[in-house]
Amino acid sequence: MSDIQKGADTQKGADIQEGLSIIDKDSSVEGSFNVKGKLIVEGSLKGDLIGNKVVTVEGSLVDAPARVREMIIGGEFQGDITVYESLRILSTGAFSGKITCNSITLDTGGKLNGRVKPLNAPQGFSTISTPFAAGGENPASPKVGGDKEETGPGVAIDLCKPQGEME
């Protein structure tokens, strides 16, 4: 086998690992999904989801428990999720359910209604349970970070700090 063929085979393998799947805005799918690479949801998905990187766009609807490495929510997402690296809820995003993750960012205007728990939480950590909209007041919830005012595009919660150490 020539070096060119070996390189092409290696590249082909990388493309498969780094694949791209799209559920179009006019599509509705139901079932169990195990996606390698990146999944973009523009339509609706119902079922179970396992993946590397999942992105839902404005206008999409996902109703699924999920276990993913990274997730960006720009549409409506319902279900219990485990995100092993980072979760971001965009200004157009709305999440309802339980979240277990290392890092979460809630952009201004994004909606979070559920329970957030750190991944592999040691004793002394508690969950944050709240309906919350970034950039707005929620009188039913304690302020994250005390009296500190947020100045960025949203709220970032570091789930690696024990309660009481948040700045």
Residue 90 to residues 25, 96, 128, Cα–Cα distance (Å): 18, 14, 19
Q: Is-contact 109 134, C-beta < 8 A?
A: yes
* Residue-level pLDDT at 128: 56
Q: Is-contact 125 106, C-beta < 8 A?
A: no
* Residue-level pLDDT at 16: 47
Instruction: Report the C-alpha gap between 110 and 9 in whole angstroms.
Output: 42
Does a structural domain hold residue 164? Answer: no
pTM: 0.69
Rounded to 5 degrees, what angle do the CA atoms 159, 160, 161 make? Answer: 95
Range of the domain at 50: 16-136+150-158
Does a structural domain hold residue 27? Answer: yes
Number of separate domains in the chain: 1
Does a structural domain hold residue 132? Answer: yes
Q: Is-contact 87 71, C-beta < 8 A?
A: yes
* Residue-level pLDDT at 8: 41
Nearest of 146, 153, 66 to residue 108 by alpha carbon: 153
Does a structural domain hold residue 69? Answer: yes
Does a structural domain hold residue 142? Answer: no
Alpha-helical (H) ranges within the chain are 3-17
Residue with tokens 């509705």: 28
* Residue-level pLDDT at 120: 79
Exposed/middle/buried for 40, CB within 10 Å: 0-12, 13-18, 19+?
middle
Question: Tens place of pLDDT for every residue, the chain, 167 residues?
Answer: 444 444 444 444 444 457 899 999 999 999 999 999 999 999 999 999 999 999 999 999 999 999 999 999 999 999 999 999 999 999 999 999 999 999 999 999 999 999 999 987 665 455 555 555 555 544 344 334 333 333 345 555 555 444 444 43
